[in-house]
Structure 1
Amino acid sequence: MPLNQAARQFGVRESAWAADLSPSGRKLVFLSAGPGSSTIAKILDLDTKQVTPIFGSSGKPESLEWCEFATETQLICMYTAVDNIGGVLAGFSKLVTLRSDGTKQQSLGSKRAGYDMYIRQSDGSVLDWLPDNEGSVLMARTYVPKVEERATNIKDDRLGLGVDRVELATLRSKVVEEPKRTASRYMSDGRGNVRIMAFSDFDGTDNLTGIIKYRYRTPGDQEWKPLGNYNTVSEEGIWPVAVEQSSNSAYVLENLNGRDALYRVTLDGSGARSLVASNDKVDIDGVVRIDRGLPVIGYSYTDDRARVIYFDPEFKKLGGSLSRALPTTPLIDFVAASRDAKTLLVHASADTHPGTFYVLNRATKQMEQLLLSREQLDGQQLAPVQSISFPAADGKMIPAYLTMSKDGPAKGRPAVVLPHGGPSARDSFGFDWLAQFLASRGYAVIQPNYRGSAGYGEEFLGENAFRDWKKAMSDISASAQYLVNQGIADAGKLAIVGWSYGGYAALQSATLEPDRYKAVVAIAPVTDLSLLRRESDDYINGKVARDFIGSDSVNLRQGSPLQNASRIKAPVLLVHGDLDLNVRIAHSTKMADALQKAGTPVELVRYQELEHQLDDSNARAEMLMKIGQLLDRTIGN
């Protein structure tokens, strides 16, 4: 396949994602990529099969994130955007409600009466869809004090996160929980009852400490009782993931023998708790429901691939039956359900298939194909993904994924090391558009879950891959050596490509081993750890971020590609959006300047009005084109 064709096919954004079923199960709302960075919300009528675009967003600046049915004829949708406020980038989100034909769009944020004293970044989130009281929702709303337009006296001094009940047709609201300044999260039972509240701890100087204090209340009681705490820096304590009305309990994740285990805690005041699930190799990820407010039907974890263990015998049987019935797309996800749970929206995918949405009638067992996740790749032969492991320098076995097309040599290929972002994240088995693009060009692609990756327990996570970058980089280097030792890759034809922390890892690896890689691609990379620390000063979680990165000056200097740019020999491609809230574009501009001064070939591709994920089909296609050209010149295909 010609490079320009491959870049277009793999660079284009999804044709269907964020899908939801209406209460009757006869309509589907989903998002679809429009030209460039635009997104279109569409309605699919399952009776007539007609698809109707109802509205959308340009992506510059507002991006449409999701739409869901509140009633058969009413939707709630969320926009996000990044803006520059006095030289500081800040993220914003907005909820709107509209009819399912796209008309009468209205904001769900608290009404303005005067001027806000502070910048409001979020106008709220849907806490409970109130399935028993159709037409209303519980919203967690952010309140800031308001002053009169022509006076200095405060008209409304409420501050913090509260809960309101909102009627969608009239937008009338009723206070359910008064705003509290330090409240950061509420959880309901999905049936209208707020059961858990989280408080963020401050150090007295308006900086978060990273400690979250959880409180709960028993049915019919207004008194909040201690449930437990969570430390976001050390990742210790309890993390509630669901409240279930039928069992009057909360499901929480908590450490057991060095890994996250799932517990059920009874919310009746007794403190009774029981172990639901644990795994001696990986963390438990969370619980599984078929839709909001419905009982928990299982839990999930990820070893070599994502897995679900069902409590519910019917869904255990159904999940197995679907995997067998769809052998080419065995990764099954129950996305949504009708109000009576008799109609299910199912997504089936595989490593070699981006996925298909189906509607399933539980009574008749009939299933109908609806939408492809990526129409542009329909019929395209994709490269299989193999779950592997390799020995690190200290003998520790490191899990990874190897993607190679079936055509081409089995030995001595040019290869690309593709470390993931995060760093407290991980790669998993399934379709990956960037890895598949590289594989389509004939490259062997290895994605190592280096130490510092999430999901494998606290020992594997370690201090984190910023503080202990040496171990992470050593594991990434070992992944490249594994390809050579196995004869898969030609030692003289290795490149490294990464996004976010992966981009940092690509550049840092090139400073540590200047002769190993013949090309380096860093997308939205961190390049200087001290700069990353300083940038966090503009935000209330700055102390948490600084603690995560560390303060050892030697480690910060040695662990910063920008401070060691002169060591890089291979040509470098840098790609960055100038509205990147995760990693400021200064990291790439400074790195480009340093490489130019060192005489290293470098190209910086800068995208205006794009954020960290570069959610623009044209930008992604151009980026893939440039990556392909660089790799063709340096390691060949």
Structure 2
Amino acid sequence: MRSFVTFVLVCLVACNASAQDDLPAYGQAELEDFLDTPEVTRPVLSPNGRYLAFMVHTDHAENGDVLVIRDLDSPDNSNVSQTGFGRLPIINIGWASDDRVLVTLLRRGLVRVRGVPVDVPSIRTVSYDRRDMSSPTVLFEEERRVFDNLYNAYGNELVNILPDDPEHILMAAYRGDSLDLWRVNTETGAADVIEDGNSHTRQWYTNGDGVAVMRVDVNYRGRRVEVFTRQPGERRWRRTAQFRTNELSDRASEFAWGGISDQPGQIYVFSRRDGSDRRGIYLYDLAEGTYVQTMAEHDRVDISHIMVNPQNGAYLGYAFTDDRFEVEITDPDLRRHYRGLRNFFGDDVSVLPASFAGERMILYVTGPREAGVYYLYDRASGSVDPLMTPRPRLPPDVLHDVEIVRYQASDGVPLTAYLTIPRRGMGPDTPLILLPHGGPERRDDYGFDFIAQYYASRGYAVLQPNFRGSSGYGSDFAESGYGRWGERMQLDLDDAVQVMIDQRRVAFDRICIAGFSYGGYAALMGGATRPDLYQCVFAGAAVTDLLGFVDYWQRNNENAYAYWTTAIGNPRTDRDRMYWASPIHLADRMTMPVLLAHGTDDSVVPFDHTERMAEALAEVGGDYFFQTYSDAGHSFEEDGNWRLLLTQTTAMFDRVIGPDRGQYDSIFLEDWPGPMDEAAEEP
């Protein structure tokens, strides 16, 4: 069907040309292909849909990051302007109006810390006239209380473009330690405060007229969230919701902004209405403080996205992830177009309408065998034009199929997992990597996962279960994992593997378990509780001592401590259970090779968790290797770190369950890619 659609490449040739010339051969991609991610921002449409802006990274010399603006109404898309920013990296691009584009840049500059000027990296927003890019306007430059404020070093959020006032926008910016709402002139950079926040304020939301109707406050340590709302014309704020959050959770907020509506005094909100198990979308009346109408609910999962016309607030639809990302369009005309697009792209990908403007839409298309492509859809002409792909060296031919696996846990509870299938298929001699996700209040889905795809490219099947405690399936499912770390949650993982063995789809003696954060904890517990099932273990940034982990948060954040005592256990009443559910006390049961990794600057799971795990394995004579990543945080951030992580884990898999099994007397000593590899130390 694609042959009937005219494809016009609207990205700069430099965006993909060099990568396309050396695409990997059919059926095989190398490590560097997975790590190669060209630095591009997502394309954005001007409010009228006529102009398209995006960034392409060329080099770090004269041009550096290049801002590209195309006039989509020009013949053959020939009207293009390009502006290089040299050594100033572009962080983000947006539109303030049809003629003004906002570019967020990373630069070094002086900010004040307790009155003392300090030279630090900072993020600034610059306004350009798309017709003359030679005269930039730096926003807030004359407002020194904002411009020199360290709190603003991470940038200022755009709150409202004020469509009826093309010269001004609304932005959130700190004045002292208070996050206020400002009216900013995009032509001069001048700014005035229109709403006072406080030291706890973190977000502002306004209605279509630019009137603040919702404010989100978070305590100093970022765990207790309070949502305040008010009716336009009122000065007094009403506390509408209060809940806790934590850094390891993707669990949907109890009450969150959805968007402006086309009804005066009403907004769309995400909420677990009246204590509901799953999050839906509702029309909310600001004057009465009540829910007016249910816009979207799902009987199995949380609603994750809302689509609202940015010009008039009309409700267009919503999205959710059950097995895969799904979009439901409610607007009849738009639904007709979207159904045609879904048929065009096929069932193996998800099609996300990333933005709407005028008669045009930007679509993001992704799936297990599609690493992600941006498309431009013109509703008037029906044309679909590819814009750019963030991973041009991973075409569909080198990626692997993913299968949705339904299985029952040993206690009868139905669960879902995702199986990435190696090129040669599944069978009784197929090696398997069990890859539980972190969180644990996160989830996996049917889509592109670069870690699973990389391991599959090495010949391994990869299984990713959504065990009890995962997010996305409602609060009851997430809370069914509370107090069951190392127990029922662990059994859900083992049960998924057993299903694969019983179906003779994998080799029973060629299975390893690997994971990061909570997934790393689960990997270590798998090695301790089922040494008969798992032949090797990888644990990255893992929690290894439940009592120590809860104690760490008690000393650092009382709200996070309250969450973790609920999710894991209370040391005063659950000490024995937490002790014996901690890998650090079970090292003598790990009879298989264990690879450990942790960043020294991890602020979520302290580095000493893995340090002490290594000591415990050493004391019992365990076969292990501990790779330290200097200056790395919880996510290992740098490509150099990921290069070494994937190299070392694959080397262990190859030697234990892969093509090199049985050839090494010592897994970690002979020709091991260890700390001498400078990739782990790259800045």
- Determine if the TM-score, normalized by the shorter chain, exceeds 0.5: yes
1:595 equivalent among 617, 636, 654: 617
Is 2:354 aligned against 1:335?
yes
Which residue does 1:67 correspond to in 2?
Answer: 93
CA distance in 1, matches of 2:149, 2:483: 37
Cα deviation, residue 499, structure 1 = 1.9
Worse overlay, 289-298 or 547-556 = 289-298
Residue 650 (structure 2) pairs with residue 628 (structure 1): yes
Aligned to 1:125: 157
Q: Counterparts of 1:108 and 1:390 in 2: how far apart (Å)?
A: 56
- Answering whether residue 43 of structure 2 is matched by residue 26 of structure 1, we say no
Q: Which residue of 2 aligns with 1:269?
A: 288
**Residue identity opposite 1:192 in structure 2:** G
Residues 416, 208 of structure 1: CA spacing in aligned structure 2 closer, same or farther, 3 A cutoff?
A: closer
Change (3 A) 1:476 1:55: farther
TM-score w.r.t. the length of structure 1 is 0.83
- Is residue 136 of structure 1 aligned with residue 154 of structure 2? no
Q: Distance in 1 between matches of 2:583 and 2:346?
A: 45
Structure 1 residue ranges without an equivalent (≥5): 86-90, 145-158
Could you tell which deviates more after superposition, 410-419 or 592-601? 592-601
Q: Using the alignment, how far apart are the partners of 1:293 and 1:604 within structure 2? A: 56
Q: What is the deviation of 1:487? A: 0.8
One-letter amino acid of the structure 2 residue matched with residue 162 of structure 1: D
The 5 A counterparts of 1:448-459 are: 448-459=465-476
1:189 aligns with 2:215: no
What is the CA–CA distance in structure 2 between the aligned matches of 1:400 and 1:20, rounded to whole Å?
34
Structure 1 distance, partners of 2:590, 2:446, is 32
Separation (CA, whole Å) in 2 of partners of 1:57 and 1:579: 27
TM-score normalised according to structure 2 size: 0.78
| Residue of structure 2 in register with 1:163 after alignment | 181
Equivalent residue in structure 1 for 2:529, among 478, 503, 512: 512
Higher relative contact order, chain-length normalized (CA < 8 Å, sep 6+): 1
- Letter of the structure 2 residue corresponding to residue 126 of structure 1: L
> Which range is displaced more, 313-322 or 287-296?
287-296
1:567 corresponds to 2:567: no
Q: SS state of the match for residue 525, structure 2? A: helix
How many angstroms apart in 1 are the aligned matches of 2:562 and 2:190? 38
Instruction: Give, in angstroms, the shift of residue 438 of structure 1.
Output: 1.2
CA distance, structure 2, for counterparts of residue 8 and residue 525 of structure 1: 26
User: 2: CA distance between counterparts of 1:267 and 1:326?
Assistant: 40
Q: State the alpha-carbon separation in 1 of the partners of residues 526 and 459 from structure 2.
A: 23
- Cα contact 1:354–1:374 (8 A) shared by 2: yes
> Can you list the C-alpha shifts for 1:188-214, whole angstroms capped at 9, x where unaligned?
1254121112344x6xxx77773x443
Change (3 A) 1:408 1:385: closer
Q: Residues 348-376 of structure 1: CA distance to partner in whole angstroms, max 9, x if unpaired?
A: 12221112111122211112111123101
Measured in 2, the distance between the counterparts of 1:326 and 1:368 equals 12
- Greater Cα offset, 598-607 or 484-493: 598-607
Taking a change above 3 Å as real, the CA distance of residues 534 and 270 of structure 1, as seen in their structure-2 partners, is closer
Measured in 2, the distance between the counterparts of 1:269 and 1:576 equals 50
How many residues get paired? 601
CA contact (8 A) 2:137 2:187 kept: no
**Offset of 1:56 from its aligned partner?**
8.1
Hey, what's the Cα distance between the residues in 1 that align with 2:456 and 2:87?
A: 32
Residue 29 of structure 1 aligns to which amino acid in structure 2?
A: F
* Corresponding residue number in structure 2 for 1:241: 257
Q: 1:406 to 1:141 in 2, by over 3 A?
A: same
- 1:375 is paired with a residue whose SS is coil
Shifted more, 391-400 versus 468-477: the winner is 468-477
Cα distance between partner residues in 2 of 1:364 and 1:350 = 26
Structure (1 or 2) with the greater strand fraction: 1
Unaligned runs of 5+ in 2: 1-23, 114-119, 660-683
Does 1:377 pair with 2:394?
yes
2:364 to 325, 328, 347: 347
- Match for residue 297 of structure 2 among 274, 278, 286: 278
Report the Cα offset of residue 272 of structure 1.
Answer: 5.0
Q: For residue 413 of structure 2, what is the aligned residue in structure 1?
A: 396
Q: Is the 8 A contact 1:110 1:143 kept in 2?
A: no
- Post-superposition offset of 1:632: 0.6
Q: Compute the displacement of 1:634 (Å).
A: 0.4
Structure-2 separation of matches of 1:76 and 1:358: 22
- What SS is found at the alignment partner of 1:127? strand
Structure 1 residues 461 and 109, CA, compared in 2 at 3 Å: closer, same or farther?
farther
Residues 421-480 of structure 1 show CA distances to partners (whole Å, capped at 9, x for unaligned) of 121111111111111111112211110000000111222112545664422111111111
Contact 2:162-2:170 at 8 Å conserved across structures: yes
**Counterpart amino acid of residue 27 in structure 1:** L
CA 1:351/1:181 → structure 2, altered by over 3 Å: closer, same or farther?
same
Query: Could you tell me which amino acid in structure 2 is paired with residue 601 of structure 1?
Result: D
Q: 2:601, 2:634 within 8 Å by CA — same for their partners in 1?
A: yes
User: Structure 1 residues 541, 48: CA separation in 2 closer, same or farther (over 3 Å shift)?
Assistant: farther
Q: Please identify, of 228-237 and 554-563, the stretch whose mean Cα deviation from structure 2 is larger.
A: 228-237
For the Cα contact (< 8 Å) 2:369–2:396, is it kept in 1? no
Per-residue CA deviation, residues 499-521 of structure 1 (Å, 9 max, x unaligned), is 22212211222122223211212
Q: What residue number does 1:219 align with?
A: 232
TM-aligned CA deviation for residue 299 of structure 1: 1.4
Letter in 1 for 2:282: Y
Deviates more, 1:222-231 or 1:246-255: 222-231
Q: What is the aligned-residue identity percentage?
A: 25
Please tell me whether the aligned partners of residues 56 and 64 of structure 1 are also in contact (alpha carbons under 8 angstroms). no
Q: CA RMSD in A?
A: 3.7
Secondary structure of the structure 2 residue equivalent to 1:227: strand
